[in-house]
Amino acid sequence: MTEILLIRTGQTQQDKINWLIYSPLEQEIIASGDLPNAEQLSELTEKSQNREVVALLPCDQVQLKTVELPTKWNRKLEQALPYMLEEDIACDVDDLFIAIAEPSMIGDKHAINVAMTDRDWFESWLAVFVEHDIEVFKLLPDAILLPTAENDALSVIELGEQWLCKHGLWRVGAVEQSWLAEYLAALGNPHVEHYSPASQFPETIDLTAQTDAYDLPLALFAKQLPSVKFNLRQGQYQLKKKTSLWWGYWKNAAIAASVALVGSIVIKGVELHQLNSEIDIAKTHVVERYQKAFPGKALNPHLIKSQIKGELAKLDGVSSAGFLDLTNELVSVFSQVQEFKPETLRYDQRRNELRVRARGKDFQTFGKVKAILEQRGLTVDQGSLNNDGDFVVGEIKLRGAA
């Protein structure tokens, strides 16, 4: 899960900016700080790389509203929505950017939640982020990330010189300390759940301190992000460059997987080359043995098994299956013990016994061959072994079923 960079803007680009980096996986703050104004946003450019950037706008600059509808929300109502709002706003509707949230209900009537902000102001902040090469994935009014209190209570937290408030799912506000009593009175003096010390509240207000959840405001907001699906980046302002964000999240994993894949292919290629080399060596040994056993006979390496059967049938007029079985077992050993070189083969059909005189690197070579053949169910008798210069010469007998 990627880390999140939260950037809380001011009302103007000259106001202080708060920022925080949060790890959802570790559930901890990585770093946090303040910038004196928007001109210093370049200090966050590097920090924004490979992180999900969420910009929080002051909620007193973004009005949230629930609009009653004559019927269930549909595309025609979406087109008519600006005209439905004209009577409730004090400016030209064309000067507003209207973002659409989730449909809702007011009693038994259909409704739609919307967010409205000055279009020029909104676009100016988007331009500032682009200017400083910060790709913002999501934009939200800050107070919407307060926990939603139950039983019509008010959630509040102090940030800067203001109290941010949330009343229900879609009603937020930012209140100066000097206006706090009047604001609460206008709401009917609701019960207040506060996420920072609230000693300045009127004594008449019923307060509940959420001390277990006390945290930096942006840290509290980061923890609430999964529960808020709304995003002001929609319509013409929807984030276009999604692939780079995705690549930032998964780049390291993709590179590691590619390296592992290439490495696996190289290793398998080397193993295949070694196996092919061993097969070629084994084929060479078989051809040499055939030519010694049947001198002057033409040999097709692809038909060697059938040719051996044919030659043995000519010699004995009987089945040669036992010889072939023993020979196949012996030939398979050549690729495993390359220091073992057979010199002569003699086959006793009555006893189904193959005698092999061979040359090996040392005494252990003969022991290794004997062990491999016995593991395959053959009876192996090893004769005397003698030194012959740098080699050891000896005889082994292989017997299968009589």
Mean pLDDT of 285-304: 66
How confident is the model over 44-67, as pLDDT tens digits?
999 999 999 999 999 999 999 999
Interatomic CA distance for residues 273 and 231, integer angstroms? 56
Task: Look at residue 246 and tell me whether its pLDDT is greater than 60.
Answer: no
Tell me 351's DSSP state: T
Q: In what order do the strands lie in the sheet with 4-8?
A: 28-35, 17-23, 4-8, 52-57, 136-141
- Average pLDDT for the chain: 85
At which residue do the structure tokens 């057979």 appear? Answer: 342
Interatomic CA distance for residues 189 and 182, integer angstroms? 9
**Is residue 54 within 8 Å of residue 34, measured between CB atoms?**
no
Interatomic CA distance for residues 225 and 5, integer angstroms? 12
How confident is the model over 5-51, as pLDDT tens digits?
999 999 999 999 999 999 999 999 999 999 999 999 999 999 999 99
Tell me 133's DSSP state: T
More confident residue, 221 or 248: 221
Domain extents in the chain: 4-237, 246-302, 320-399
How confident is the model over 183-239, as pLDDT tens digits?
999 999 999 999 999 988 999 999 999 999 999 999 999 999 999 999 999 999 998
Mean pLDDT of 105-132: 94
How confident is the model over 349-388, as pLDDT tens digits?
777 888 888 888 888 888 888 888 888 888 888 888 888 7
Q: Please compute, for residue 2, the number of CA atoms within 13 A of its CA located in the half-sphere on the CB side.
A: 21
CA 8 to chain centre: 29
DSSP string for residues in 192-227: EEESS--TTS-TTS-EEE-GGG---HHHHHHHHGGG
> Which tokens in the block code for residue 8?
């809380």
Could you check whether 4-237 and 320-399 share the same CATH topology? no
Quote the pLDDT of residue 347.
79
The three-state secondary structure class of 277 is: helix
The CATH number that domain 4-237 falls under is: 3.30.420.380
Radius of gyration, alpha carbons of the chain? 42
Residue 382 identity: Q
- pTM for this structure? 0.61
Q: Name which of 338, 326, 311, 334 is nearest 397 in CA terms.
A: 326
Lowest-pLDDT range of 88-102, 274-288, 303-317, 356-370: 303-317
- The domain 320-399 is placed in CATH, from the list 3.30.1360.100, 3.30.420.40, 3.40.50.150, 3.10.310.30, at 3.30.1360.100
Q: Name which of 349, 290, 356 is nearest 321 in CA terms.
A: 349
Task: Look at residue 249 and tell me whether its pLDDT is greater than 60.
Answer: no
The three-state secondary structure class of 229 is: coil
Q: Name which of 97, 108, 169, 136 is nearest 5 in CA terms.
A: 136
